[in-house]
Amino acid sequence: MRMPRGYKRRLLVFLTIMGPGIITASVNQDAGGIATYSLAGAHYGYSLLWVLFFTTISLAVVQEMGSRMGVVTGKGLGELIRERYGLRPAVLMLSILVLVNLANTVAEFAGVAAAFEIFGIPRFLSVPLIALFVSWLVVQGTYAIVERVFLIASTLYLLYVISAFFAHPPWGEVLRQTIQPTFEMDRNYLIMLITLVGTTIAPWMLFYVQSSTVDKGIRWKDYKYARFDVFVGAVVATGVAYFIIVACGATLHAHGVRIETAADAARALEPFGGRYASLLFALGLLNASIFSAAVLPLSTAYVACEALGWETGVDRRPKEAPGFFSIYLVMIGIGAATILWPNVPLIPIMFFSQTLNGILLPVILIIVLQLVNDREIMGEAVNSPLLNLIAWGTAFVMSALTVLLLITFIL
């Protein structure tokens, strides 16, 4: 099948700009991310901004490792784990991935429900409808087209940047808190720290960035472009997070508002959006939630099927790739059904799914570090000592925070 040259050229330019790193960054601003950043800003003001400074560096390093492994090996992370460690370890790792991604999918449907509730539409209507829509997208094979719409709509979050400026926060204070770390040995504070890192450096992102780098077919010679893309993506992801926290800090925290529902969180957009703040927030949240509700189960299904040797692909019929479509649809089904459970609290679901990300991040990170430092796999392209220090440091700090958190529960 041939396409007109002009159309495809435009498509290529688009894809060149929207590299794997930047796409990952856009997907990252999902329901869980928005909830976490909003809560961080509303409840802790600017005092957690310093975390983002370190998270940016970690995120860039971690994503760069995934991207580099994709280019050097030409294989996805799931495949690599299977080929290096064998079937059983691969299945164990896949189970962990499916578990966290399922939690994240549940969070996306919580986002869908929350966004619709701002419009007064009950979740018993909205959630099944969106679940059907997302299933239809992939089963019908129209997903690839719609993905671009989502990506463009995800720029809605730039509104937070504007809103942060309109809110006139005390910039001197904001900057001071950005570079000055603080720490409290408090249970809620520890959970917030883990969650904040977990939502920014989510385990699925490592798989996602590597697979999309592989699919793009980048040669080692051209790797510097891919690396640049990943770095830009990391800065964009944490940059948006930064302004969400500042906007929430300047509006919600300043007035002592605690976020109980999505409508509370929407008030952070008031300095810019005025009475349309709720509408803008709801649209942004809805777009991000639907997009990620499709992407997360999709990427999980891809990783699992590739590692297990099952047929994959959105361009196939469900009968040709039963495993792939089953994983996708079951994840959507469980995600939606969980939210339909009577009276589940939406904001906590979005938040705590990201805590799980943070707790399980070191597990995935340590496997990635083993692989990326394996000369048989990576040849000369193994990690430099500095990258190892940062990545191991991230894994260590996240494990330490989890241990501290456990201690607060025991004491």
Q: Which one-letter amino acid corresponds to residue 245?
A: I
**Under the criterion CB under 8 A, does residue 216 sit at the interface with another protein?**
yes
**Under the criterion CB under 8 A, does residue 322 sit at the interface with another protein?**
no
Q: What is the distance of C-alpha 217 from the center of its chain?
A: 23
Contact, 167 vs 267, CB < 8 A?
A: no
Of the two residues 14 and 396, which places its CB atom closer to another protein in the complex? Answer: 14
Neighbours of 60 (CB within 10 A): 23
Of the two residues 96 and 283, which places its CB atom closer to another protein in the complex? Answer: 96
Contact, 127 vs 113, CB < 8 A?
A: yes
Neighbours of 40 (CB within 10 A): 28
Q: Binding residue for another protein (CB under 8 A) from 57, 153, 235, 308?
A: 308
Q: Binding residue for another protein (CB under 8 A) from 68, 75, 123, 267?
A: 75
Of the two residues 170 and 309, which places its CB atom closer to another protein in the complex? Answer: 309
Q: Binding residue for another protein (CB under 8 A) from 43, 82, 123, 267?
A: 82
Q: Binding residue for another protein (CB under 8 A) from 10, 86, 176, 379?
A: 86
DSSP codes joined into one string, 201-269? S-HHHHHHHHHHHHHHT--GGGHHHHHHHHHHHHHHHHHHHHHHHHHHIIIIITTT----SHHHHHGGG
Name the one range near another protein by CB under 8 A: 81-89, 159-167, 346-354, 391-399: 81-89
**Under the criterion CB under 8 A, does residue 217 sit at the interface with another protein?**
yes
**Can you tell me the distance from the alpha carbon of 173 to that of 160, in angstroms, rounded to the nearest whole number?**
19
Q: Binding residue for another protein (CB under 8 A) from 4, 120, 172, 385?
A: 4
Binding-site size for another protein (CB under 8 A) equals 28
How near is the Cβ of 396 to another protein at its closest, in Å?
27
**Can you tell me the distance from the alpha carbon of 99 to that of 111, in angstroms, rounded to the nearest whole number?**
19
Q: Binding residue for another protein (CB under 8 A) from 50, 54, 74, 158?
A: 74
Binding mask 88-107 for another protein (x = CB under 8 A): x-xx----------------
Q: Which one-letter amino acid corresponds to residue 259?
A: I
Q: Binding residue for another protein (CB under 8 A) from 17, 120, 183, 219?
A: 219
**Can you tell me the distance from the alpha carbon of 391 to that of 404, in angstroms, rounded to the nearest whole number?**
20
Q: Binding residue for another protein (CB under 8 A) from 16, 182, 188, 370?
A: 16
DSSP codes joined into one string, 292-328? HHHHHHHHHHHHHHHHHT----TTS-TTTSHHHHHHH
**Can you tell me the distance from the alpha carbon of 204 to that of 199, in angstroms, rounded to the nearest whole number?**
10
Of the two residues 219 and 255, which places its CB atom closer to another protein in the complex? Answer: 219
**Can you tell me the distance from the alpha carbon of 103 to that of 233, in angstroms, rounded to the nearest whole number?**
24
Of the two residues 88 and 255, which places its CB atom closer to another protein in the complex? Answer: 88
Q: Which one-letter amino acid corresponds to residue 232?
A: V
**Under the criterion CB under 8 A, does residue 9 sit at the interface with another protein?**
yes
**Under the criterion CB under 8 A, does residue 214 sit at the interface with another protein?**
yes
How near is the Cβ of 101 to another protein at its closest, in Å?
20
**Under the criterion CB under 8 A, does residue 173 sit at the interface with another protein?**
no
Contact, 38 vs 268, CB < 8 A?
A: yes
Of the two residues 82 and 267, which places its CB atom closer to another protein in the complex? Answer: 82
Q: Can you give the binding site for another protein, defined by CB under 8 A?
A: 1-6, 8-9, 12, 16, 73-76, 82-83, 86-88, 90-91, 214-217, 219, 308-309
